[in-house]
Amino acid sequence: MNSHNLSSFTSRIVEATNAVFGDSQLAQSVFNACQRYDLEQRNIADSRGVNALMIAVVGAKGQGKTWTARQLVRDESVRRQLRSGDLADDATTSLVWIGPIPPDSIDPTCESYLACPRAAMVDLGQPYVLLDTPGSTDADAAAARIASDALSLAPIKLLVVARDQLRAASNLAIAQRIDGSICIPVITSVEPEELSKSESTSQLREDIRAFRDQLRNRAASLKLIKQICVPDFEITGDENSSQRLFIAQFLERIGQLQLDQLSLVNSREQRISAAQVRLRTEVTKTIAEHLPHVAKAVERLNHETEQLPDRVLNSMLGSEGILETGVKMRLRTKLVNDSLLIWFPYRTVMSTLNLTQGAWDRVVLAMAGSVPSLFGALASWARNAKQHRDFSADIRDGIRERTRQQVEDRLKPLCEQFHRTVLKLRPHDPKLTDSLTSSAMNLSGIEELQNRSRAIFDSAIERHATRNWKVQLLGAIGCLIFWGFFAGPIVAIYRQYITASIEALSATSVNADHFPHPSPSLLLTSIILSLLPLLVYCMVVITVSLTKRRIRRVATEIQREHETAIQQLKDTGVIQLEFEDRLLAQAEFLLNLDRAKASS
């Protein structure tokens, strides 16, 4: 299929379809859908050269569309040319343009133009052109196609539905085609008795409500105006009264719209967007219906792609216990690092306890002189240092490395399965066989997720870490405990030293024996005895500051923020699977068309 005359968007779809499915009937169906979309887009964009308001009368066959169009024309010669009825000779089978401005490029085989001056039409305060369309359910395939193509032309649609057809399925198909437009429902052939009944008991009211709900569900961007109800003049025998009632209601609805240039531009953009959504859905549905095994293969890829970031996160953070251990290590380290250097030896003891977490009993015994306990404490220090280093590396680079491994383990087998599926479709295509080499793929956005993960972790630690003033207060109290115990021997030694110094300065002779000669064992014993209360105090500080409840709260918050960040990156398209395998990328593009947001 030649895609040179298509837009860039539809050319991309056709190119992908040809790459995956080759020269097949399915590819031809997709090509035809793209051609219809491009025609629809051009019709919406340039309005066929009509620089005026356009109002299209649309609906199924035999609902009273031409009668409705005729009521807006006062020129009798034009009115007579607008034939209506259920018979083949009376039904509208071509697109009829009515108004003071002719459209560009009239196709005489399926279109006609009836010139009608503005003064000979119902006055809307501005010039406008009417479009009387064929029935969308016409048995004549050509007429039905013309009706379908014409549904995109005008920003305002008069959707004409007979009273007894309010719940017909054909209304839903028409609603989908006019999505993005301004719609005024016109309900014809309403029995006079129903119009005169109380609204609370009228079956008509219930049917209209169900009808409007169906339109909204099928066409989310449809601007639905209050309906116009036309009495059945074949029952009343008074067509003039029905005509006057219709015109009065129509002018009232148009007056409510406040049709300015901006609203018409917005309507054009909404119609183009809705048309693109329809194309995306049609292509995806066509492929899924004709080749469900291909759709299933790509669907499994999509499912694994969506789950991949969560699995990577879980493998990085590990179980709840591992995450809580990492949080505890970071909070302990921050508690130590935030203490000022002047709080000696409190800061030194806190650093020792931080590095020997899980072996505090050995630290106490080592201070009492146990050599085996000293080696046990050193081993715990080495193990904790390695654990801290490994966890920091995971926070820095863990997501990136685990993503690569997960892509290799989970997605590569699915890609190979997809290749086998495509080969079954085109087993004798040598060009295809040569192109199916080993797949290369990459999950984009992982660098961003890695940076966010690091920021989330650091931010949570900062928020829940012990406040700086409290850290310094704890350090001051620890120093007071140590120096309070160690002050005794120090004061005694210095008192003796000061006394001896005064004697040496005042006496004529100096006796060196008067100066203190403390033994090293005395000082060592004093230091150990002073450090033991400080050691117990530091253990209490770490235990109270890092309670299990607090650690669990921080870990839960980190997990929740990671999940939110992953979802945001997914929704914005930052995290997505990128295929270096061209065939796989084309198939993924086609089957995900309906997931992407339409752009005008």
pLDDT (tens digit, 9 = 90+) per residue, 169-197?
Answer: 888 888 888 888 889 999 998 888 887 76
The pLDDT of residue 394 is: 55
Residue 140's domain is classified under what CATH number? Answer: 3.40.50.300
User: Phi and psi of 389, rounded to 5°?
Assistant: -65, -40
The pLDDT of residue 247 is: 92
Residue 384 forms part of a structural domain: yes
Residues 255 and 313 both lie in one domain:
no
For the chain, how many helices (H) and strands (E)? 23, 10
The pLDDT of residue 387 is: 57
Residue 104 forms part of a structural domain: yes
Q: Which residue has the tokens 């997990």?
A: 559
| Helix axis angle, 320-337 to 292-317, nearest 10° | 40
Of 250, 271, 290, the domain-final residue: 290
The pLDDT of residue 487 is: 83
Residue 150 forms part of a structural domain: yes
Residues 44 and 56 both lie in one domain:
no
Residue 574 forms part of a structural domain: yes
The pLDDT of residue 204 is: 85
Of 205, 239, 259, the domain-final residue: 259
- Total domain count for the chain? 3
Residues 152 and 222 both lie in one domain:
yes
Residues 152 and 250 both lie in one domain:
yes
Residues 159 and 239 both lie in one domain:
yes
Residues 319 and 401 both lie in one domain:
yes
Residues 194 and 71 both lie in one domain:
yes
Q: Which residues 6+ apart lie within 8 Å of 60 measured at CB?
A: 135, 136, 137, 161, 165, 168, 170, 171, 174
Q: Identity (one letter) of the amino acid at 570?
A: K
Give the start-end residues of each E strand in 169-236: 182-190, 223-224, 228-231
Q: Identity (one letter) of the amino acid at 46?
A: D
Judge whether 74 and 120 are in contact, CB under 8 Å: yes
Residue 63 forms part of a structural domain: yes
**Which residues span the domain enclosing 37?**
1-49+261-290
Q: How far apart are the C-alpha atoms of 372 and 366, rounded to whole Å?
A: 8
The pLDDT of residue 486 is: 84
Residues 237 and 374 both lie in one domain:
no
Residue 267 forms part of a structural domain: yes
Q: Which residues 6+ apart lie within 8 Å of 144 measured at CB?
A: 134, 135, 136, 137, 138
The pLDDT of residue 473 is: 93
The pLDDT of residue 271 is: 81
pLDDT digits over 128-183, tens only?
999 988 876 545 555 556 656 667 778 888 999 998 888 888 888 888 888 888 89
Residues 242 and 299 both lie in one domain:
no
Neighbours of 355 (CB within 10 A): 21
Residues 426 and 572 both lie in one domain:
yes
* Measured CA distances, 300 to 13, 218, 297, 413, 509 (Å): 21, 28, 5, 11, 100
Residue 482 forms part of a structural domain: no
Residues 65 and 45 both lie in one domain:
no
What H or E segment, with its residue span, contains residue 42? helix 25-46
Residue 518 forms part of a structural domain: no
Residues 406 and 270 both lie in one domain:
no
pLDDT digits over 387-416, tens only?
556 555 555 555 666 666 666 676 677 677
Q: At CB < 8 A and 24+ separation, what contacts does 244-251 make?
A: 246/68, 246/71, 246/186, 247/71, 247/72, 247/122, 250/71, 250/72, 250/122, 250/184, 251/122, 251/124
The pLDDT of residue 322 is: 67
Residues of the chain falling short of pLDDT 50: 86-90, 138, 200, 361-363, 365-366, 371, 373-374, 438, 597-600
Q: How far apart are the C-alpha atoms of 55 and 128, rounded to whole Å?
A: 7
